[in-house]
Structure 1
């Protein structure tokens, strides 16, 4: 069952200006493992974090470093949650969080779908009917 859906769009030029004016934003918004990426990728990760908070429906106590965008062996993005973000996800029953990101034509976009763990269908014994 879907717990929440979030989407966010970031204007790349505006994001680049913000990081240029305030270089400390990289450290404040992104974990060390994220920081060395190109600005368009950082903008996508920022959009992902914003989309996650929308999908969870609560931002109480969340810090930017509580949501780290990672990639699996195939390059597919996902989140590593900790702190308040992890606690909120658990409280909302969000056992699975799906993330997609893209950037093109001057914008970065991210979409997050949070869902509960798949329910196991009850086993049906002999003569259980259909």
Structure 2
């Protein structure tokens, strides 16, 4: 059963400018494994923007829980490339409160826009 839905879009160029202007933001928002690819290369701005859109979509699906820690919501990839959501701490607690036991994630970036949709299932 779908318990929650969240969607977000991010302008990639604008997000890149914010990261350049405020370098500490990347560390506040992204866990170390989110900032690099599987080979260890730094992620491109479009990929980071898409990951940020996922975090925002999760926050919206959960009703923007007080005290949400950005690192408690991470977008990972299976070997096939399928995106999967890893939640811990504050996000896991908020999800449990509304009966979410599983997530589905769709993410894309094209034409200067990064978009994400999340479904919280339970």
Larger radius of gyration: 1
Cα gap change, 1:58 to 1:18, in 2 (>3 Å) = closer
Q: Moved runs in structure 1, 4+ residues, more than 6 A?
A: none
The alignment status of 1:5 with 2:5, answered yes or no, reads: yes
Which of the numbers 35, 44, 48 marks the counterpart of 1:42?
48
- State the distance in 2 between where 1:108 and 1:34 align: 16
TM-score by length of 1: 0.86
**When the two structures are superposed, what TM-score results if normalisation uses the length of structure 2?**
0.91
Give the corresponding residue for 1:66: 72
Report the aligned-residue RMSD: 0.9
| Structure 1 unpaired stretches of 5+ | 117-130
For structure 2, the residue ranges without an aligned partner over 5 or more in a row are 37-42
For residues 30-74 of structure 1, the C-alpha deviation after alignment (integer angstroms, 9 at most, x for no partner) is 000011211100000000000011112242111110101111121
Match of 1:106 among 93, 99, 112: 112
Q: How many pairs were matched up?
A: 116
> Corresponding residue for 2:15?
15
